[in-house]
Every structure is written in C-alpha cells, then in structure tokens.
C-alpha cells in the first residue's frame, strides 16, 4: 500500500524512504523482502521521472541555443 501511494505521488518519496529503511530491520523475511521490492519500484519511478525531466530540459536548452522558440 505504501508503495502504491509513493508511485502515485512521488513527492512523498522523501517521507516514505525512512519508513522503508525501518521496515528492512523487521525479523520477518517476507516483510523485509516487500520493503526491498517497494523501494526498488520507488527508485525506478523516481529515476524515470528525473530522466524525462532532464531529457526535456536538454531539448528546450538546445532549442534555445539554436534560437528556436
């Protein structure tokens, strides 16, 4: 559930990650495994969003350098 919220609202990732770090210390392996899976999904989504933003920023910067608006 926390992973679903994080994927829909990436702005909450900084608050979610410390919680996942605490859950990693759980003695039940399935709980820790789920925290790892959730963390991987959040990392992937965050990295994907960042890559898209950089791509569009670079594209806009290139167009500005060429004098195209």
pLDDT tens digits for range 21-67:
999 999 999 999 999 999 998 899 889 988 888 888 777 777 777 77
pTM value? 0.70
55-66 in b/e form (b: 16+ CB < 10 A) is: eeeeeeeeeeee
Q: What is the pLDDT of residue 34?
A: 92
Tens-place pLDDT, residues 4-14: 666 677 788 88
């Amino acid at each position: 559930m926390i992973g679903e919220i994080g994927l829909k609202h990436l702005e909450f990732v900084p608050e979610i990650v410390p919680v996942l770090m605490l859950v990693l210390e759980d003695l039940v392996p399935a709980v820790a495994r789920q925290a790892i899976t959730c963390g991987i999904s959040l990392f992937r989504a965050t990295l994907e969003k960042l890559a898209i933003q950089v791509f569009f920023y670079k594209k806009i910067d290139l167009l500005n350098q060429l004098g195209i608006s």
